Amino acid sequence: MNETLIRLEGIQKVFDRDGAKLDVLRSIDLSVERGEMAAIVGPSGAGKSTLLHLMGTLDLPTSGSIRYAGREVTGLSANALARFRNEHIGFVFQFHHLLPDFDALENVMMPGFIRGESRKTLEPRARELLDAIGLAHRATHRPSELSGGEQQRVALARALIMRPDVILADEPTGNLDSVTSERMNDLFFEINERFETTFVIVTHSRELASRLPRVIRMRDGEIEGEDRAPAPNARIGRGDEEKEDTPEDGGGDGA
């Protein structure tokens, strides 16, 4: 039996906007197994990004429980949560958020620097990751000298430097052209296979969602259902994507 890495139970998120209560998430129950690759899809405003932020402990639910490998994290202090994220969770967003004054290698090492690790410890790991994503030759280039696809790949390597249990990605290919997006999508599978890293990806991309073995469908702050592929890491070519019942491409999540 596979190990449950993430378990969300009874998750609700309510925002107060100008005195009005806005129910963004309603009684979400969700489990993600270690090593799994899952997409979260749905129309803008469905609550996808909010759910991902809660899963990543960037925000806390109004009510409900979030557990990682059986450990309850919703009651941790802000400092303890920051340490937990640094050690266990990697993030890739639509915008790469690389630091402009540092080169690719230094950007990849940055989470380790924040944790207090030495360059001597981090650099071999960072160079291995840059090699894994095909950017070993760009290690000394700053973000402004990299293409959009290269910047996103560096962001992925940065997310992996602390050997996290899970990568949480929010529209990671939303700003990339179709060819670069496909290469980035391939990289997710390669990283999953090489490092056994769990991936949960919020996406409007039909092509990416159709390739992931699990697709969680959201609407109006609730999980309305999910689809599972008959085989793990099922890969569907670009010409087959129209056969999949997945969302239309569109903008980022409004929630």
Report pLDDT for 222: 93
Mean pLDDT by 10 residues, the chain (255 residues): 88 87 91 95 90 93 94 92 91 87 96 90 94 92 93 92 92 82 88 92 88 93 87 42 39 42
Report pLDDT for 10: 95
Report pLDDT for 230: 62
Give the torsion sign (CA, 97, 102, 104, 110): negative
Per-residue pLDDT tens for 213-248?
999 999 999 999 998 876 444 443 434 443 334 334
* CATH of segment(s) 36-55+83-243: 3.40.50.300
SS (H, E, C) the chain: CCCEEEEEEEEEEEEEECCEEEEEEEEEEEEEECCCEEEEECCCCCCHHHHHHHHCCCCCCCEEEEEECCEECCCCCHHHHHHHHHHHEEEECCCCCCCCCCCHHHHHHHHHHHHCCCHHHHHHHHHHHHHHCCCHHHCCCCHHHCCHHHHHHHHHHHHHCCCCCEEEEECCCCCCCHHHHHHHHHHHHHHHHHHCCEEEEECCCHHHHHHCCEEEEEECCEEEEEEECCCCCCCCCHHHHHHCCCCCCCCCCCC
Report pLDDT for 235: 43
Domain segments of the chain as ranges: 36-55+83-243
Per-residue pLDDT tens for 46-72?
899 999 999 999 999 999 999 999 999
